[in-house]
Amino acid sequence: MKEVLRTIVKHIVDNPEEILINQKEEGQSTILELKVAADDMGKVIGKGGRVAKAIRTVIGAAATKTDKHVSVKIVD
Amino acid sequence: MERVIITGKTIEEALSRGLEELNTTEDKVEYRVLEEAQSGFLGLIGRKDAKLELIKKVDKKEKAKEFLEELLEEMDLNLAVEIIQDNNEKDALLNITGDDLAIIIGHRGKTLDSLQYLTNLAVNKGKEDYLRVALDAEGYRGRRKETLENLALKMANKAKKTGRKVMLEPMPPQERKVIHAILHNKSDINTYSVGKEPYRKVVIVKE
């Protein structure tokens, strides 16, 4: 799941080498903590959170084949 | 991005050799002359070859396809992507086909819309000449349009019969446009939208 998130984000940000993703398992859910360069924060969140929402929707679809709930947290 | 630096007796010769090396055609590259050819004295002394730098232009439609293929593979979905070719430079239509179509379409196309939005961002990142990418999944868009048009006509009848406002559920802009368009020429019906995105919805009223 980590790689799905990385694939999306690396094509959107200006500094793909600064992407950090930390995967945590908590019972039935997987939490992906995404960290990007400070300049790229706006790019992964988007106006009114539009980009973040689209990323979460696609990650959610990727998770349908597994029996886990996957959430994406953007951290700074 | 692929690039080569190539030499030849003339610029033309260097260019054609470079194209051969990149396995491409002239319209798909940009080139810069690094050194002009010099014929020298009697074509013998001081003769210099022309030196060119060739850069292969990225085809944005190809890029959209590659991005989607990479992503769908990472998602472990059995799906293929094809570019529906047309000669339009500003718009691209890509079609997704395969077994896992339902997953990629999502509830009322929500996943397909998100994927379309992300593909647009990925393809147009920091580049000029904006390419608008539209995604379809084995004719899903067409079927959805038909469903919306039927709904619109049904609800317009309801509005006429009851004389009351009929409020539809929230829809994305493209879907609201379909509703407005089909009811536009009905003289006894009026439509407008209320609310803020993404909860904006169409209201149908009797004139």
Which chain B residues contact residue A58 at CB under 8 A?
71, 75, 111, 114-115, 118
Burial of A47 (0-12, 13-18, 19+ CB in 10 A): exposed
**Cα dihedral A56→A59→A65→A69 (10° resolution):** -50
More confident residue, B22 or A7: A7
Tell me which chain A residues have a C-beta less than 8 angstroms from the C-beta of B103.
61, 64-65
Question: Residue B27: pLDDT band by 50, 70, 90 thresholds?
Answer: confident
Q: What is the value of pTM for the model shown? A: 0.79
pLDDT tens digits, A7-41? 999 999 999 999 999 999 998 899 999 999 999 99
Look up the CATH number of the domain holding residue B192: 3.30.1370.50
User: Which residues 76-115 on chain B approach chain A with CB closer than 8 angstroms?
Assistant: 76-77, 103-104, 106, 110-111, 113-115
How many domains are contained in chain B? Answer: 3
* Domains recognised in chain A with CATH numbers: 2-75 (3.30.300.20)
How do strand B91-98 and strand B166-167 relate by DSSP bridges?
A: unpaired
B71-104 per-position pLDDT tens digit: 999 999 999 999 997 778 888 999 999 999 999 9
Range of the structural domain that residue B50 is part of: 3-56
Name every chain B residue with its beta carbon within 8 A of the beta carbon of A55.
114, 118
Task: Report the residue of chain B nearest A58, measured CA to CA.
Answer: B111
